[in-house]
Amino acid sequence: MSARSKIILLVIALVLTGSCLFAGHEPQKAGKAQDKDDLYNQIELFSNAVSAIRSDYVTEVDSKKIVYGSLRGMLSSLDDFSSFLDPDEYKEITAEAKGEFGGIGVEITSKDGILTIITPIAGTPADRAGIKPGDKIVRINGKTTKDMTMNDAVKLMRGDPGTQIVLTVWREKEEKVLDIPIKRAIINITSIKDAYLIENKIGYVRLIEFQEKAGRELEDALKRLEGQGMDALILDLRNNPGGLLDTAIDISEKFLPKDQVIVSTKSRNPSQDNVYKSSGRFGHPQYPMVILVNEGSASASEIVAGALRDNKRAVLVGTKTFGKASVQTVMPLRDGSGLRLTTALYYTPSGKSIMNQGVVPDVVVEREEPGPVQKESGDIFDKADENQLKKPVKTERPKDVLENDNQLREALNLIKAIKVYKAQS
């Protein structure tokens, strides 16, 4: 058997085996013979290219480099969120879900083919440096991001703590190109950034990530505030890029009675569609609730906001959310690499898909940026500044929080009005 024939058979075997093994899925019986013939023809085309590279490229190429490169191209051609993860990237994404990773603290996506900031994570170097949701990344340390994959961008932004990176961004609202220096750090994030009584027994909780421990952290914060007499809640999901679907469901059902639809997912195979309902196991009081959202609220944040709004459990205040309504499943491969594959779209309880549309709040309030703040003297990259991430959750209201946040003021006024209305009804 010729080398070319062996390659064709090997690739066919890999493709067919992979289709049977991923996540325990069975091959779909509805496939037509014509589709299979087309697949074999395309695989033969691929094998021709591999043979040419192995025999005629100017230098010998490592087989893993060919396969990894092919997988990157294949996954990135599907949509903006699917990607191939080499072993190091797979380890990093696992660490991110647990809340510990190195870098500058941003969530990015590819929007219209341009690397775009979903949001800087609160309290991280990127947040303190002034990165904003919607910033388009033009260069990373002087290297153009044109045609750059998200994985490659993440690799460039990751690095040793204490080293500096410069992001060049296009800020559309200001029509400016900005060079923003950022100092890398080890990012240790708690999901709950703030939790305190803001005024008149009204609680304020700021949730910045949907990590594995977010549900437990929120439960602890709610019990503490309820123990202090909390009778209304403002849940701040602004600039929360999302995270785990299970965590979004866990958090939503804390505020819903039993058997309320939280979210539904629809995949390629109807037998794998799911409708997630609340279990009623948490049973927090039906106190008035307002959720703050903005253009940096994405994915799991939009699930929670949509679930509580559609079930008439909360009122949304702020600006339209990001509009990421797809579910990615991370699938390990045998050599330690993995796939991040879009496997479903999610829908709010009312049946709406918000993919690329976002959630429009009940009360739209544009953010008014506060005036210039007098900064303390000293190097903004001072090592002590990096240690802010390790400070405990704030449990007391900062004196100037309402003065500098018009959206929060509107949410507070609204929830006061709801309390008055309920008291009189």
Tens digits of per-residue pLDDT, 192-211? 989 999 998 999 999 998 98
Tens digits of per-residue pLDDT, 9-64? 444 444 433 444 344 444 455 455 667 678 878 888 888 999 999 999 999 999 89
Residues with a catalytic annotation lie at: 299, 310, 324
Lowest average pLDDT, out of 225-229, 250-254, 282-286, goes to: 282-286
Confidence (pLDDT) at 2: 52
Tens digits of per-residue pLDDT, 112-142? 788 999 888 888 899 999 999 999 999 999 9
Tell me the domain boundaries of the chain.
3-61, 100-188, 192-328+342-368+380-424
The CATH label, of 1.20.1260.10, 3.10.450.50, 2.60.120.200, 3.90.226.10, for the domain at 192-328+342-368+380-424 is 3.90.226.10
Q: Can you tell me the mean pLDDT for 387-414?
A: 74
The CATH label, of 3.10.20.30, 3.40.50.10090, 2.30.30.100, 2.30.42.10, for the domain at 100-188 is 2.30.42.10
Q: Can you tell me the mean pLDDT for 374-393?
A: 37
Mean pLDDT of the chain: 83
What percent of the chain is predicted at pLDDT more than 90? 52
Confidence (pLDDT) at 385: 35
- Label each residue of the chain as H, E or C: CCHHHHHHHHHHHHHHHHHHHHHHCCCCCCCCHHHHHHHHHHHHHHHHHHHHHHHHCCCCCCHHHHHHHHHHHHHHCCCCCCEEECHHHHHHHHHHHHCEEEECCEEEEEECCEEEEEEECCCCHHHHHCCCCCCEEEEECCEECCCCCHHHHHHHHCCCCCCEEEEEEEECCCCEEEEEEEECEEEECCCEEEEEEEECCEEEEEECCECCCHHHHHHHHHHHHHHCCCCEEEEECCCCCCECHHHHHHHHHHHCCCCCEEEEEEECCHHHCEEEECCCCCCCCCCCEEEEECCCCCCHHHHHHHHHHHCCCCEEEECCCCCCCEEEEEEECCCCCEEEEEEEEEECCCCCCCCCCCCCCCEECCCCCCCCCCCCCCCCCCHHHHHHHHCCCECCCCCCCCCCCHHHHHHHHHHHHHHHHHHHC
Confidence (pLDDT) at 272: 84
